[in-house]
Structure formats: C-alpha cells, structure tokens
Amino acid sequence: MGEAHVRAPSAAGARRVEAAIRRRTARGERALVPFLTAGDPSEGESLERLRACADAGADVLEVGLPFSDPVADGPTLQAAAFRALAAGGGTETTFRLVSRLKAERPDLPVVLLTYLNPVLRPGLEAFMARAAGAGVDALLVPDLSLEESDPVRRAAHAAELGLLPFAAPTTGPGRLARLAEVAEGFVYCVARLGVTGANEEVAESAAAVVRGVRGVTDVPCAIGFGIGTPQAAAGAARLADAVIVGSALAAPAAGDGPPDARSIADLLGAMRRAMDERTRAGQEGS
Amino acid sequence: MPQADATGHFGPYGGRYVPETLMPAVLALEAAYREAAADPAFWGELEELGRTYVGRPTPLTEARRLTAFTGGARIFLKREDLCHTGAHKVNNTLGQVLLARRMGKRRVLAETGAGQHGVATATAAALFGLECTVYMGAEDIARQALNVYRMRLLGARVVAVESGSGTLKDATNEALRAWTADPDAFYVIGSVVGPHPYPTMVRDFQSVIGREVRTQALAATGRLPDLLVAAVGGGSNAAGLFSPFEGDDGVRMLGVEAAGEGVESGRHAASLSAGEPGVLHGALSYLLQTPDGQVRVAHSISAGLDYPGVGPEHAYWRDSGRVTYTVVRDDEALEAVAWLCRLEGILPALESAHAVYAAVRAARDMAPDETIVVSLSGRGDKDVETLRARGLGQQGGER
C-alpha cells in the first residue's frame, strides 16, 4: 500500500468478511464470492441455490434483496429481481433465507446487497437490527454514494455490520483517498463502466481500478461486473483478492436451460478450478 | 432565489444517491453548472435563444369566459403551451444543452414520459448538432406515438424500455444505466428530480416562467397574483413558476398532483399527498412505495404526471407549508380540458388541465378582485387520441 491513510475501525461483521478472504489469500489462492438474488425464482429454490453456492466453495456469499428499480443492474439481474418480487419476495423473504442458510453454515459470511430505499423505509436502526438478527455480516448499497453514506454507516456499525465501499473505473485519486478512510471487509472494484452483466473476459479497466485501490488501502479487493466465465474468473483472480460472480449464476449461457442448484454448482466449480490453476501458474511464473 | 446547500440538500431532501461509477460525472456537472451560472454570457445566450427561438416571453392570457363561468377570482393563464415544441420543457433542455456544449460534450441522453421532454431534448440537440438518444417506456411509446415520431424526425434515437411498468420511472432507470455505461455523455434530465445539481439547475432554467409572470401580472393588474397554480409530476413547471415568488408572503402557491382514479383507489401519482420519504433516481424525496420500500407503479391519464416520485424542493416546500399541494383526478382533468376548449379556445395538455381544474376549484372561494395565475405548461395536441378514446368532442355530446 502507498501513502498511509487513516483507517477507521471496522465493524465486527466486516472483519469476518475480510478474514474469510484472507484465509484464501494466505494460501496463495483467491476468494470466490457468488451473488444470488434472494427469492429467485421462489423461496424454496432460492435456498437450494444458496446451499449449492456454499457447497461449491464460496468464501463469502453475496445475497441480493430484490428491488423494484435496480439502476445498477443489467437485464439479467433486473429479471432475477422481478422474478423474486413476483414470487412474493422482498425484505421478509430475504432475511428468512439468510437466517436459514446461516443456521446451516454459521461460519460463511453473508454480504447483503440492497438498494437504499428498502433500508431507509423501515428506518435505518430497525433495518440494521433485522439484518444483524438474520445473520448478515455486511452491506453493499450500490446507489449510496460516499457523500451520503455517513448516517447509514453509523447505523450499520451500531449493529456490528460492515458497509463495504465501491470503487469504479471513474473513481479518481481524491475519491480513492476518501474511500480508503472508510474501507472495510473488501472494496468492491467495479471492473468496467455500465451495469451488471456477464462477459467472457474480465475487462481491461479492472486492473487499473484494483491498482488504484491497492495504492490507498490494504483492505482486500474484490472484482465484480462481467465475470461470466471460468476464463474471466481466472483473469480477475490474477488481479484481485476475490472474484464476485452474479449475472452468470442467474442466467447461464444460452442453450443451457434455466439455472438450477446443479448448474450453479457446476459453474462455480469450474471457476474455482480455473482460478486456482491461474494463481498457481502465476506463482510458478513469478 | 432559494438554494439547496452545498451538497444539494433542501432540508433533509435531495442529495446525490447514485452509483460510484456516476459520482465523478455528477460532481463534474455540478462544477460546470456553478461556473456557467456565474457567467452572464451563459444566461445572455439562453435569454436570446428564449426570445428568438422559443418565442419568449410567452403571453399571460386573461381567461375571461372561464372566470365568468367559475365566478370568483380572475384567472390568468401563463401560456407555456405557446413555447416552441409545445411545452415548457424546452426552457430546460436549451439550458442543459448549452451547458453540454460548454463542457465539450458530443452526445446527450434523456428519459421521457409523455415525450415532451424527449422532443424538447431532440430539438435542442438538433439545434446544436449533438447526438441524442431518448429512453422511453414501451407503454408510453404506445400511447404517445406522435411524439415518438417527432423525436425520430428530429434525428434522435428512441430506445423502447420494456422493463418494469414501461413508463417514465423505468425510462429514467434505463437512462441512468446508459449514463453509467457512458459517463462522458451528458444526461439531460427533464424535471427537478435526480441527483444534485439537477433539481437546482432545472428549476433555475424554468424560473423564467415565474420571472415573466411577475412582470406581466404587475402590468396587467398592478400587483402580484394572490395564487399561483401548477401541475406537479416531477415538478419542473411548478418550480419554475413558484421559485421567483418564494419570498413574497402574500403570494399563495398551489401544486396539483394527479389523483388518477382517486387517491383512495391506490391508482394515482400523488407522491406528496399520499407518499412517504424515500430515495429514487438519485434524490431523497416523497415517493409512492410499499411498507418495505419497494417503489409503487404510479397511475395517471397524463403520461407526464405518471411518476411515483417528485422533486426534492417540492418535498421541502410541502413540509415547510410554503406551497400547498392538492390532487385532481383523471375525470376532473378531462372536464377541465373541455372547459378550456369551449370557453377559451385553448386545447391544454392533460398535465396542465389538472392545474386548470384546481384553479377553478380555488377561484370559487376567492373574491372577484383577487387573481390566480395558472401555468398552462403545454398544449394538448399529443393527447387527442386519449381524449377521443374518453369520448370528448363528440358531436352533440355535452363534452
């Protein structure tokens, strides 16, 4: 890490997320962070898929609370959110699923991805208490800018939940320095411009985002957006500490049929292997 | 003029709630607008365009037969329907496109509901040779075919947004997504909504409405109006009319939201009257939402009011009591269309008809020496298919 930035104390939940990633990186491996929208396509099937992610070697699980207006998401995750909402999903279902999963896997850290309004509506304190009670460890809120984040962070920390920051290809040095002051758990490095969606390869812009973040903080970097194939996962593993996979799990490549727990486990398994080969090759090469 | 604080907050409302990818573009826009707003040459060019291209100042027309029909206060109409492109929207799009050109932008994006803002953006883009893409809900494309064709004639690319309810809310989501993919483009927002600086900037560009009314009302009646009335979807024509009078305590203001089929039916667009504070499209304001914070689908016969949110400054005015907000149903707005056609020879936009209805309702309780100014924000040509389907204008019919 470059010049020292003061790092605020992180929440207990964020430390659990960070520790899970460091368990991998300490072995020279990279962490895998699958993302699923809670309640997609139904509560029962969603639980199966969450279990499949845990079994396929997820180091941290990212669970999405479905929202009516997901502005940071592309068509695949929009459709997943609308399916979940149409099936009666929402805040209640999401917390029930997290809590059932945590009952089975108490050691698997869960990061809740939610847009801001479902957090605000019941009141920050009430929402955080419910999240913590369900077993959530940290939050990612894609439409919450750094500028507006202080009240949310205070409420999250009061419930021992982390609030993880985003870095994007457009994030300049000044903002990176401010981000470093509040970074905890991992920094979500947005690999490319635009919204979520699976790509064949990790975007070239991802390397610069990670480099910028590494220059200001030693909090782990996770790359997300566009990690659609084992090849892309391996590419991201070369750059960062963790790899986030979302859209590819909600809608596998055309012709493969609808995703189920089995196909999700297969894809994650293939990604895990590709990442491990790539990091091993990297170590031997260096 | 009232201002948001440095971070774009009107009391607790407003702010900048956008993904990190967009924040640098939002901050750059804010800096560019601050610099342009301090440059008299910028306002001079906008004023000249208003005069030579838009047709400003637009008239203040005394609605004598409507006043006689109503009985009560004198009703005047601020004729934004006579602006080039047929609505007040062009006041804002010319301002933003001038700013885009000043920032060296080559491409503009816009969302549109009824298509009026899309047409106004396509118009300004054509005038300055910029590439223009307009996002429009599939449902709105179906009910506003004329405006879709106008945008295409003007050289804009119109993208149909199928997701969600296929209306303005979804078109705005998609425009924000497109901006995230292309932050070098300039996003021309059509109302006093969105992240800071949009609510302030759009209000400033629209405040020409209220400034002209001030001069014209003084000339016509020798004093300021007693009541200002404007329809509120996102709230740009209302903010433009109201803001220059905010410090005039004797001037009352009435914002009119769309009650659709009635607020009690749940099918309406009355965010301030029946919503709760929440974040949508970059700002905290009143929002139609479920107890869990999911955004509800709005309903209004008028595509321009069919939006579950509202500008943050209106939320602030609502709470402070400076502006009173009321609601008008679909059927009442249709009645007002018929009045204005038959009594004044003016076909108003369905959006503006909501304001006309509320003005008539208010006028009945006021004295004949009092005056009301109604923002006639747009003309109704775009709505003729809707009016025909609702049975207006049939030979021999009462309407």
Q: What is the ipTM of this complex?
A: 0.95
Distance in angstroms (rounded) separating the CA atoms of residues A113 and A65: 6
Give the Cα separation of B32 and B298 in Å (integer): 34
Please state, rounded to an integer, the average pLDDT across all residues of chain B: 96
pLDDT at A5: 60
| Model confidence band, residue A280 (pLDDT cutoffs 50, 70, 90) | confident
For residues A65 and A100, the answer to whether their CB atoms sit within 8 Å is: no
A208 at B interface, C-beta within 8 A? no
Per the CB < 8 A criterion, the answer to whether B165 and B107 are in contact is: no
Does B396 contact chain A (CB < 8 Å)?
no
CATH placement of domain A12-285: 3.20.20.70
In tens, the pLDDT along B73-110 reads 999 999 999 999 999 999 999 999 999 999 999 999 99
First to last CA, chain B: 42
Closest CA to B187 of B197, A22, B142: B197
- Quote the minimal CA–CA distance from B291 to chain A in Å: 7
Residues of A in contact with B28 (CB under 8 A): none
First to last CA, chain A: 20
Contact call for B173 and A193, based on CB within 8 A? no
Residues in Cβ contact with A148 at an 8 Å cutoff, skipping those fewer than 6 apart = B15, B16, B17
Using CA atoms, how far residue A69 sits from A25, A74, A87, B163, B284, in Å, is 36, 11, 17, 10, 15
The minimal CB distance from A168 to the residues B21, B169, B279 is found for B21
* Phi/psi of residue B60, nearest 5 degrees: -105, 110
Report the residue of A147, A179, A192 to disrupt the B interface, i.e. the one with the largest count of B CBs within 10 Å: A147
Domain ranges of chain A: 12-285
pLDDT recorded at residue B77: 99
- Separation CA B182–CA B174 (nearest Å): 12
Place of tokens 């009355």: B270
Please report, for residues A55, A61, A141, B251, the alpha-carbon distance to residue A21 in angstroms, rounded to integers and kept in the order given: 17, 11, 20, 62
Mean pLDDT, residues B305-315: 96
Contact present, A152 and A118 (Cβ < 8 Å)? no
B288 in contact with A, Cβ within 8 Å: no
Reduced to 3 states, what is the DSSP secondary structure of residue A62? strand
Active site residues of B: 89, 111, 377
**pLDDT confidence of B330, banded at 50, 70, 90?**
very high
The string of pLDDT tens digits covering residues A176-206 is 999 999 999 999 999 999 999 999 999 999 9
A residues 134-193 near B, CB within 8 Å? 142-148, 165-172, 175, 190, 193
pLDDT band, very low/low/confident/very high, at B394 (cuts 50, 70, 90)? confident
List, for residues B32-87, the tens digit of each pLDDT value: 999 999 999 999 999 999 999 999 999 999 999 999 999 999 999 999 999 999 99
Q: Which of B56, B67, B64 is nearest to B94 (CA)?
A: B56
Whether residue B291 and residue A121 make contact (CB cut-off 8 A), yes or no, is: yes
The answer to whether the CB atoms of B17 and A148 lie below 8 A apart is yes
* A-B contacts (CB, under 8 Å): 124
Return d(Cα B196, Cα A247) in angstroms, integer.
31
Mean pLDDT across B236-262: 98
> What per-residue confidence (pLDDT) applies to A251?
83
pLDDT tier, B142 (very low <50, low <70, confident <90, very high otherwise) = confident
The confidence band for B166, taking pLDDT boundaries of 50, 70 and 90, is confident
Long-range contacts of B33-37 (CB under 8 A, 24+ apart): B33/B99, B33/B197, B33/B201, B34/B197, B36/B98, B36/B99, B36/B102, B37/B201, B37/B204
Give pLDDT, residue B183. Answer: 95
Chain A residues whose CB is inside 8 A of the B17 CB are 116, 143-145, 148
- Judge: B292–A195 Cβ closer than 8 Å, yes or no: no
DSSP A16-42: HHHHHHHHHHTTT--EEEEEEETTSS-
Interface contact B289-A117, CB threshold 8 A? yes
Q: Is the pLDDT of residue B304 over 50?
A: yes
Q: Which residues contact A197 (CB under 8 A, 6 or more apart)?
A: A74, A75, A76, A77, A225, A226, A228, A247
Question: Which of B13, B16, B18, B21 to substitute to test the interface with A, most A CBs within 10 Å?
Answer: B21
- Please, are residues A21 and A219 in contact by the beta-carbon 8 Å criterion? no
Element (H, E) at B396: none
Model pLDDT, residue B270: 98
Q: Is B132 helix (H, G, I), strand (E, B) or coil?
A: strand
Residue A286 predicted with pLDDT over 50: no
Closest-CA distance, A3 to chain B, in angstroms, reads 23
pLDDT at A6: 63
Q: How far is B328 from chain A (nearest CA, A)?
A: 27
Question: Which pair of tokens denotes residue B298?
Answer: 């709005």
pLDDT of residue B117: 97
Best mutation target among A73, A148, A188 (most B Cβ atoms within 10 Å) is: A148
- Active-site residue among A18, A40, A73, A184? A73
Is residue A199 within 8 A of residue A232, CB to CB? The reply is: yes
Confidence of residue A284 (pLDDT cuts 50, 70, 90): low
B57: preceding bond cis by omega (within 30 degrees): yes
Confirm whether A73 is a catalytic residue.
yes
Residues of A in contact with B12 (CB under 8 A): none
Residue B397 has pLDDT above 50, yes or no: no
Q: What integer pLDDT is reported at residue A257 of this predicted model?
A: 64
Q: Which residues of A touch B277 (CB under 8 A)?
A: 120
With 0-12 / 13-18 / 19 or more C-beta atoms within 10 angstroms meaning exposed / middle / buried, residue A46 is buried
Question: Please, are residues B305 and B269 in contact by the beta-carbon 8 Å criterion?
Answer: yes
Q: Cβ of B8 under 8 Å from any chain A Cβ? A: no
Interchain pair B21, A167: CB under 8 A: no
Which residues have a Cβ under 8 Å from the Cβ of B113 and sit 6 or more positions away? B136, B137, B140, B167, B168, B171, B190, B233, B303, B304, B306, B307
- The minimum CA-CA distance between A192 and chain B, rounded to whole Å, is 8
Q: Does residue A254 have a pLDDT over 70?
A: no
> Is pLDDT above 80 for A143?
yes
Residue of A37, A65, A67, A68 to mutate, interface with B, max B Cβ within 10 Å: A68
What is the pLDDT, as a whole number, of residue B362?
98
